[in-house]
C-alpha cells in the first residue's frame, strides 16, 4: 500500500465518521427519548430546551408556534416532563389549574394517542409537539429539538 492511497483513505475518514454519526442518531434513539417537531414553513428552526419548556408551560415565542400535547398517563409525555420540562406531572397539573382558575392561560390541547397527535400537526401549520424518538417524522415537519445523545 503506497503512501498516497493511505492518505486518500485518511481524508475519507471524516466523511465515513459523519455518515456513521448520522446513522447513529436514529440507531441510538431509544424508547427513552423524545423529539420535538414543528409544522413550520419559514425555513430552519432550532429551539433550546428552555424555549421549548417555556412554550409548553404557556409562554409565547416570537415564532407563533402553538403547542399540542399528549395526556398525562402517556409514556412519551412522562419522558418529555422528565427530560425537557424538568417538572413532575403533579407540579404541571397544579400550574395549569392555577392558570385556568385565575383566568390567565389554558394548557395545550391534548390528543389521546401519538398517531392522532401526529395527524393533527401534519395537517395544521404553526403547531409543535413532542413525539417518541422512534417515530418516523413526516416530510412537512421539522425536528427542532431532540433528547437523543450520541
Task: State the residues that interact with other proteins by CB under 8 A.
Answer: 48, 50-51, 53-55, 57-62, 64, 72-73, 82, 86-91, 93-95, 97-98, 100-105
Considering the complex, what minimum distance in angstroms separates the CB of residue 117 from other proteins?
16
Nearer to other proteins, 36 or 135 (CB): 36
Q: How far is the CB of 140 from other proteins (least distance, A)?
A: 23
- Residue 86 or residue 138: which is nearer to other proteins going by CB? 86
Indicate the burial class of 96 (C-beta count within 10 angstroms; 0-12, 13-18, 19 or more): middle
Q: What residues form DSSP beta bridges with 146?
A: 35
Nearer to other proteins, 2 or 62 (CB): 62
- C-alpha cell belonging to residue 70: 399528549
CB of 98 to other proteins, least distance (A): 4
Q: In terms of Cα–Cα distance, which of 148, 133, 118 is closest to 31?
A: 133
CB of 27 to other proteins, least distance (A): 28
Residue 50, all three cell numbers: 428552555
Q: What are the start-end ranges of the E strands in the chain?
A: 34-38, 66-69, 109-110, 127-132, 142-146
Cβ proximity to other proteins, 14 vs 103, nearer residue: 103
Question: Which residue lies nearer to other proteins by CB, 58 or 134?
Answer: 58
Rounded CA gap, 67 and 110, in Å? 9
Q: How far apart are CA 54 and CA 67, in angstroms?
A: 10
Least gap, CB of 84 to other proteins (angstroms) = 11
Amino acid at each position: 500500500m503506497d503512501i498516497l492511497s493511505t492518505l486518500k483513505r485518511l481524508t475519507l475518514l471524516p466523511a465515513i465518521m459523519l455518515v456513521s454519526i448520522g446513522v447513529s442518531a436514529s440507531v441510538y434513539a431509544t424508547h427513552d427519548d423524545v423529539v420535538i417537531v414543528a409544522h413550520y414553513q419559514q425555513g430552519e428552526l432550532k429551539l433550546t430546551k428552555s424555549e421549548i419548556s417555556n412554550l409548553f408551560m404557556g409562554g409565547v415565542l416570537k415564532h407563533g408556534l402553538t403547542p399540542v400535547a399528549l395526556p398525562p398517563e402517556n409514556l412519551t409525555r412522562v419522558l418529555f416532563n422528565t427530560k425537557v420540562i424538568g417538572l413532575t406531572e403533579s407540579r404541571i397539573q397544579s400550574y395549569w389549574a392555577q392558570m385556568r382558575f385565575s383566568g390567565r392561560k389554558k394548557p395545550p390541547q391534548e390528543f389521546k394517542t401519538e398517531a392522532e397527535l401526529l395527524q393533527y400537526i401534519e395537517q395544521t401549520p404553526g403547531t409543535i409537539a413532542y413525539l417518541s424518538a422512534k417515530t418516523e417524522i413526516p416530510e412537512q415537519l421539522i425536528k427542532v429539538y431532540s433528547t437523543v445523545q450520541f
